[in-house]
A and B are shown apart, each in its own frame.
Chain A
Amino acid sequence: MTSTDIFALCATSLVGLGLFGIITNPQPLRKIVAFNVIGNGVFLLFGVVAHRGAAAGLGADPVPQALVITGIVVAFSATALAVALLLRLAKATHLLTLEADDGSDGDLS
């Protein structure tokens, strides 16, 4: 078992843990954090694939690396948008669940 295999198993564990967090944690902010944990797992799988593709004197295949750099930045912008939506929801309704509401409209103005 090589280091790359260890990190591959680490990456898949992160995907599993993050998925578990998204399903079981009722708080929306914690779901966003869990989503970022999944993201890190997926990115690390890319890293493992890149490292296995080391050739031509390069330590890792540069194409997956470039994809992951793009991915990290896009993941951040998606997180920022999700957090902004969440804060707006909290401000409008004064409580924060993803449960179906009871029909009374929040004040969105």
Chain B
Amino acid sequence: MTLGFDISLAFLVVVLAAWTIQVHDTFSAVLAFVVFGLLVALIWVRLASVDVALTEAAIGSGVTGALLLSAAALLRPTQSAVAPPGAAWCTAAGVVCAIITAGLGAIALLLPDPAPTLAPLAAASLPQSGLGNPVTGVLFVYRALDTLLEKVVLVLALVGVWSLAVDRLWGGIPALWPATCPDSTLTFLAQLLPPVGLMLGIYLCWTGADHPGGAFQGGALVTAMWLLVMLAGVRAAPATGLLSLRLLLIVGPTLFLVIGLSGFALAGAFLAYPPGYGKPLIIVAEAALTLSIGVTLGLLAAGPAQRAKEP
């Protein structure tokens, strides 16, 4: 029964991916990509990785979808400007891609059995950290350096996006794709949903210590609510030069770095937590990171400044 479900799910995902690649209209392709992302999240649930499923649904499908949809709308006039490659070229590409798929598939099916795993190690050391969710344990205890550097990558990507603004608009306001008519259903939803969404985001961040959830998933929900508010025109996007905004962007990574550095003095190593204080420190870092991740992802989706800020 479950095997039948899994086969249908995998088949549907592959068909949607093929549709995303092949359909002529870019807008339809992006819509298919969003549905594709949600179904991939279902596969993650079937692979017993609920934390990843939440991240994929929120960021991989949701926020990426919003970003791509707005780009597709803006680029629509340029859509037919380029000619597709010839049939011979497509056939050659198809053969190469089929060979790569077959090779990868063979490797994936012939993986060693029993599979190498770090699960017992991760589970054995988890009680020391006071956490109950092994994925959060990996993210914030065993591989905390990766997580810290990833936050830095996010901020660097945002610097890159902002740098694409015209010189005289530096520090200006990102022009989010123009708001539709006011007083629509969108406006109503943008006023109704954010309190619920923010509460859910805080819950996801808090519960991430022991159950599926965490800073990324919570932050993505904060982003989704903020994008909704900006899209509906209830609140304009903030000026990118705003000092308070920039502080919000770096408060998470900075706090995490401070906690990491204090590990030298208190626990003898970078990013080590003093015994007994692991969980509280991680929760504090996660709370600040949720805020920073939420703001960073939202600004990444909003793009570079397009309007000068009001004097």
Interface of A, secondary structure class, is helix
A88 to B137, CA, bound (A): 40
Q: Within the complex, which residue of A7, A23, A62 is in contact with B97, where a contact is CB–CB below 8 Å?
A: A23
B118 contacts A40, C-beta separation under 8 Å: no
16 contacts between A and B (CB under 8 A): A3-B2, A17-B18, A23-B97, A24-B93, A25-B84, A44-B43, A47-B44, A47-B52, A62-B122, A62-B138, A70-B139, A73-B297, A74-B154, A75-B60, A76-B297, A97-B82
Assess whether A74 is in contact with B150, with CB atoms less than 8 Å apart. yes
Chain B residues near A24: list those with CB within 8 A. 84-85, 89-90, 93
Q: How far is it, in angstroms, between the C-alpha of A33 and the C-alpha of B84 when the chains are bound?
A: 17
Q: How many positions in chain B have a CB within 8 Å of any CB in the partner chain? A: 97
Q: Are A51 and B7 in contact (CB under 8 A)?
A: no
Known: A29-B68, A53-B118, A80-B157. A63 touches B143 (CB 8 A): yes
Q: Which of B85, B164, B300 contacts A76 (CB 8 A)?
A: B300
Chain A neighbourhood of B311, CB < 8 A:
none
- Within the complex, the shortest CB–CB distance from B117 to chain A, in Å, comes to 3
| A61 to B123 CA separation, bound complex (whole angstroms) | 10
Which residue of A33, A68, A74 contacts B153 across the interface (Cβ within 8 Å)?
A74
Whole-angstrom distance between the Cβ of B31 and the nearest chain A Cβ? 11
CB distance from B237 to the nearest CB of A (A): 14
Does B3 belong to the interface (CB within 8 Å)?
A: yes
Residue in contact with B147 in the complex, picked from A44, A63, A70, CB distance below 8 Å = A70
Q: How far is the CA of A8 from the CA of B44 in the complex (A)?
A: 12
Determine whether B49 belongs to the interface, using a CB cutoff of 8 Å to chain A. yes
Q: Tell which of A6, A20, A96 touches B6, judged by Cβ atoms closer than 8 Å.
A: A6
In the complex, given contacts A17-B97, A62-B135, what are 20 additional A-B residue pairs having Cβ atoms less than 8 angstroms apart?
Answer: A11-B108, A12-B104, A17-B17, A18-B17, A24-B89, A25-B84, A27-B75, A49-B115, A51-B49, A52-B111, A53-B115, A63-B118, A72-B60, A80-B157, A80-B301, A80-B303, A84-B164, A87-B74, A88-B304, A90-B78
Interface contact A17-B154, CB-CB below 8 Å: no
From known contacts A23-B93, A51-B48, A90-B75, infer whether A85 and B120 are also in contact, taking CB-CB under 8 Å.
no
Per the CB 8 Å criterion, the residue count for chain A at the interface is 81
User: What is the bound-complex CA distance between A76 and B122, given in angstroms?
Assistant: 27
Which among B101, B111, B118, B150 has the highest number of chain A CB atoms within 10 Å?
B101
Q: Which A residues touch B143, using CB under 8 A?
A: 63, 66-67
Q: Which residues of B contact A (CB under 8 A)?
A: 2-3, 6-7, 10, 13-14, 17-18, 20-22, 26, 29-30, 33, 36-37, 40, 43-44, 46-49, 51-52, 55-56, 59-60, 63-64, 67-68, 71-72, 74-75, 78-79, 81-85, 89-90, 93-94, 96-98, 100-101, 104-105, 108-109, 111, 113, 115-120, 122-124, 134-135, 137-139, 142-143, 146-147, 150, 153-154, 157-158, 160-161, 164, 166-167, 214, 216, 293, 297, 300-301, 303-304
Contacting residues, chain B, for A99 (C-beta < 8 A): 82
* B18 surroundings in chain A (CB, below 8 A): 17
Contact of A53 among B33, B43, B117 (CB under 8 A): B117
Asked, given contacts A52-B115, A80-B161, A96-B78, whether A66 binds B85 with beta carbons under 8 Å apart, the answer is no
CB distance from B240 to the nearest CB of A (A): 12
Across the interface, which residues of B come within 8 angstroms of A63, CB to CB?
Answer: 118-119, 122, 138, 142-143
A88 to B3, CA, bound (A): 47
Q: Knowing A73-B216, A99-B82, say if A59 contacts B21 (CB, 8 Å).
A: no
Min CB distance A103 to B, Å, is 19
